[in-house]
Amino acid sequence: MGKNSTFNILFLGDIIGRPGRLLVAKYVTEQLASSQPPDLVIANVENAAHGYGVTSKVMHELQTAGVGVFSGGNHTFDKKEIFEIMDRYPTLLRPANYPPGTPGRGTCVVDINGFKFGFLNLLGRVFMEPLQSPFHTADELLPGLISECDAVMVDMHAEATAEKVAMGMYLDGRVAAVVGTHTHVQTADERILQNGTAYITDVGCCGPVNSVIGMDPKTVFRRMVQQLPTRLSIASGPAQLNGVRIEIDRETKKATSITRVMVNDDAFVASDEED
């Protein structure tokens, strides 16, 4: 597939703290300099600052590395400075199905050399916060986005597998791609659905590999085994990057492929300080 006939997306799963950010910066820099560079790099950044939200420093780091769209989730609002950061980064999103009046935005449109690409961030409701239905929010927001854009992609940030599969099926044929995030574990079900939408239940995460979905096992054991209230801290050590590459045919506007990416890095990264 030639890079000119397709619009190529690299989507990276939840970036977790410094180990995740360093590996993402290295990988994205390499990919953008390669012979088949992605046209757009998107990442879920809800855990990028020491596991909780983003800071100015973190946003600057990731934007400098080449990330163009910053998706969110249930941790987007964890840092107090998020409101001011959202004003400065128009492609930093929070889930669109928060109540009316919530600061920030759940959609964005980027123009990459004349190709207009729309993005929608949704949050699931099963075992999560009781927000407005992500299905109804998609129905409300997608017609405008689809009419304005060459292609539209959705990040369905959700806990339950079935809710994400349902969203993929519900939007099949309406958008180019639906990807799931939040569980931090990559699923092996990537495929093009019957009506042409690229889909994966969970992209996974970019973060410390010797961890419980990014967190230091010692702190997790205190919470899960001893059942004591514990502030989780993120793990140190080598990191793994999880993502997907999606190709969209520039003529038909449909996805032609979705491919999982998993990269391991042996470098030890300490992550014992706040970002």
To the nearest whole angstrom, how small is the minimum distance from the Cβ of residue 122 to Fe ion?
12
In three-state secondary structure terms, 21 is helix
Whether 75 is a known active-site residue: answer: yes
Binding status of residue 71 toward Fe ion by CB under 5 A: no
Binding status of residue 271 toward Fe ion by CB under 5 A: no
Burial 44-65 (b: 16+ CB within 10 A, else e): bbbbbbbbbbbbeebbebbeeb
Q: Measure the N-to-C terminal CA separation of the chain; round to a whole number of Å.
A: 40
To the nearest whole angstrom, how small is the minimum distance from the Cβ of residue 251 to Fe ion?
35
Which of 85, 8, 3 is CA-nearest to residue 255? 8
Residue placing its CB nearer to Fe ion in the complex, 129 or 140:
129
Binding mask 151-180 for Fe ion (x = CB under 5 A): ------------------------------
Neighbouring CB atoms inside 10 A of 133's CB total 12
Subset of residues 14 to 33 that bind Fe ion, contact rule: CB under 5 A = 14
When binding is defined by CB under 5 A, the residue of 31, 55, 71, 74 that contacts Fe ion is 74
What's the full length of the chain, in residues? 275
d(CA 59, CA 77): 14
Please state, in angstroms and as integers, the Cα–Cα distance from residue 128 to each residue in 8, 48, 106, 109, 245, following that order: 32, 20, 18, 27, 28
Residue placing its CB nearer to Fe ion in the complex, 177 or 234:
234
Residue placing its CB nearer to Fe ion in the complex, 159 or 172:
159
To the nearest whole angstrom, how small is the minimum distance from the Cβ of residue 184 to Fe ion?
6
To the nearest whole angstrom, how small is the minimum distance from the Cβ of residue 39 to Fe ion?
25
Binding mask 185-224 for Fe ion (x = CB under 5 A): ----------------------------------------
Residue placing its CB nearer to Fe ion in the complex, 128 or 258:
128
When binding is defined by CB under 5 A, the residue of 8, 47, 71, 137 that contacts Fe ion is 47
The sign of the dihedral angle between the CA atoms of 161, 166, 169, 172 is negative
Residue placing its CB nearer to Fe ion in the complex, 174 or 184:
184
Binding status of residue 182 toward Fe ion by CB under 5 A: yes
In the set 50, 60, 75, 136, the catalytic residue is: 75
Residue placing its CB nearer to Fe ion in the complex, 47 or 240:
47
Which positions ≥6 away from 201 have C-beta within 8 Å? 161, 164, 165, 168, 180, 187, 189
Q: What is the DSSP string of 104-137?
A: S-SEEEEEETTEEEEEEEEE--TTS---S-HHHH
Write out the two tokens for 173.
């044929």
When binding is defined by CB under 5 A, the residue of 73, 124, 180, 243 that contacts Fe ion is 73
Window of 18-26, 70-78, 95-103, 263-271 that interacts with Fe ion by CB under 5 A: 70-78
By annotation, the residues acting in catalysis are 75
The binding site for Fe ion (CB under 5 A) comprises 14, 47, 73-74, 182
